[in-house]
Amino acid sequence: MSIKAIGVLTAGGDAPGMNAAVRAVVRTALALGLRAHGIRRAYEGLVHGDICDLGARDVGGIIQRGGTILRTARFKDFAKPEVQQEALRQLGRKGIDAVVAIGGDGTMRGALALHRLGFPVMGIPASIDNDVYGTDISIGVDTALNTIIEAIDKLRDTASSHQRAFIVETMGRNCGHLALMSGIISGAEMTLIPEQEVPPEEVAAAVREAYARGKTHAIVVVSEGAKYPAIALKEKLNAMKLDVDLRVTVLGHVQRGGSPSAWDRLIAARFGVGAVERLAKGESGVMVGLHARDVLTVPMEEAGSRQRQPDMEYYRMARMLAK
């Protein structure tokens, strides 16, 4: 089947760099002589025919913007066969021959459903959690990490001034990548992630040791998916009569926003170009991903069914450097 028009959508949680990826998809399509269409509100918008034409100027000036100009949504009904058939009908009415889906594992499962119905699709990983299997890093991760580090650096200033200990909770769902990396980069005394259970007693000991070494503050980074998230951990530590002024900061959705970093803009461009060029050559049902320095592909069956695990060597490093 010869592809003449490509649709692009962004689904799941927004991530800084999604707009840069949309821009790369559209301009690569146009460079190859293809038409480009934007699918608003992800799979929900697709089913309802919320589709627009996109030209080079339509994606001008968006590379530095956070969020996604196409907007995003989660749409559980897309798992239903009759809903998927309606999506195919909408694509046919608009004359779209292939779709590039930008998002996380749920986004890949939606694209895989279209692929299994014989429709050409290509995936681009975008998730601040960095839990998408088949890529070393997803779009948005680097920007989120920079946001976290900026916040922790500021918290350390006030923590030192008041001799306090701060428990900082990051996002990440059930993947500890954000917490683990930010724990290393910020010099935290302890990092708690879903993949490695740490008893509160061990956290208390680490905080006490930090003050015993003459430190004027202590930082504990906790992933939201850890056994003891920030508020629960504070309650446990207070019950131990830890003689330290404990404060909690839950960073929340501020980690999703903001202008994408240089790295996220670059990887979004590489992924966008790679996805469209592969579709034009007849590839389908795969997701582009970064492997070392190369952009390669992984089957969507794998990307949508497995979670990427953080490298536990980094966990060992975090514990060693906190001493």
Counting Cβ atoms within 10 Å, is residue 141 exposed (0-12), middle (13-18) or buried (19+)?
buried
Residue 160: the pLDDT is: 87
pLDDT value, residue 217: 85
pLDDT along the chain (323 residues), means of 10: 93 97 98 98 97 97 97 93 98 97 96 97 97 97 98 92 93 95 95 95 91 87 96 93 90 96 98 98 97 96 89 90 82
CB 176 within 8 A of CB 310: yes
**Taking a C-beta distance cutoff of 8 angstroms, is the pair 36, 30 a contact?**
yes
Q: Which domains does the chain have, with CATH numbers?
A: 5-140+260-303 (3.40.50.450), 142-256 (3.40.50.460)
Q: Which of 315, 273, 285, 320 is nearest to 123 (CA)?
A: 285
Cβ partners under 8 Å of residue 247, min gap 6? 159, 164, 165, 166, 167
C-beta neighbour count of 247 within 10 angstroms = 16
pLDDT of residue 194: 96
Say what the pLDDT of residue 241 is: 83
Amino acid identity, residue 123?
G
Distance CA 78, CA 85 (A): 10
> What is the model's pLDDT at position 295?
97
* 129 catalytic residue (yes or no): yes
Q: Which residues contact 260 (CB under 8 A, 6 or more apart)?
A: 16, 17, 19, 20, 63, 64, 66, 139, 140, 143, 268
Active-site pick, 129, 131, 142, 264: 129
- The pLDDT of residue 244 is 86
Rounded CA gap, 261 and 258, in Å? 9
SS3 content of the chain, % helix, strand, coil (to 5): 45, 20, 35
pLDDT at 243: 81
Find all residues with CB under 8 Å of 234, minimum gap 6, and list them.
167, 246, 248
